[in-house]
Copies of this chain bind each other. A is one copy, B any other.
Amino acid sequence: MNIGDVADLSGLPAKTIRYYEDIGLVEPLRSSNGYRSFRQSDVHKLAFLGRARALGFTIEDCRSLLKLYADTDRASAEVKQIAEEHLDRIDSKIAELTEMRATLSHLVDACAGDHRPDCPILADLAMEHKAGSISKASG
């Protein structure tokens, strides 16, 4: 199977598949013409990678997960640990974004958004922030 077919099957761009080979996540064979030749197992691996990446696992996580997947003697605890750490990272990120969102949406609500120059958003960014941040936004 050539890279184009695998790209179609796995949903990953050919570029990405080549990149995954570069960093050692897959090792397709080579045809006599130099083209990569993917086996079913390669396609399977790539689909696995695509799903793991879609869940936000890092490439290094993926590498570990693939290793565990290949190891039928693995302990599920190892897999679970990776997933839980990732879950924690996601939670932190969500918390961070949610805070940003709250502040920002206050500011946006407070801004008239008209032709006049007065702008609570800029005012907030410019101010010294001695005490509580958005102060008068009553929302």
Q: Is B100 touching A97 in the complex (CB atoms < 8 A)? A: no
Do most interface residues of chain A lie in helix, strand or loop, or is the interface mixed? helix
Total residues of chain A contacting the partner, CB 8 A: 54
Question: Is A24 positioned at the interface, with any CB of B under 8 Å from its CB?
Answer: no
Quick one: which of A86-114 are within 8 Å of B by CB?
86-87, 90-91, 93-94, 97-98, 100-101, 103-105, 107-108, 111-114
Q: Is B111 touching A76 in the complex (CB atoms < 8 A)? A: yes
- Tell me the nearest residue of chain B to A69, going by C-beta: B122
Q: Is B87 touching A94 in the complex (CB atoms < 8 A)? A: no
Question: Is A44 positioned at the interface, with any CB of B under 8 Å from its CB?
Answer: yes
Given contacts A51-B124, A115-B75, whether A93 and B83 have CB atoms under 8 Å apart is no
Q: Is B74 touching A111 in the complex (CB atoms < 8 A)? A: no
Q: Which of B52, B94, B104, B112 contacts A125 (CB 8 A)?
A: B52
Q: Which of B71, B87, B97 contacts A93 (CB 8 A)?
A: B97
Q: Is A119 touching B56 in the complex (CB atoms < 8 A)? A: no
A114-139 vs B, Cβ < 8 Å mask (1 yes, 0 no): 11111101101110110000000000
4 tightest CB-CB pairs across the interface, nearest first? A80-B113, A76-B119, A75-B115, A80-B111
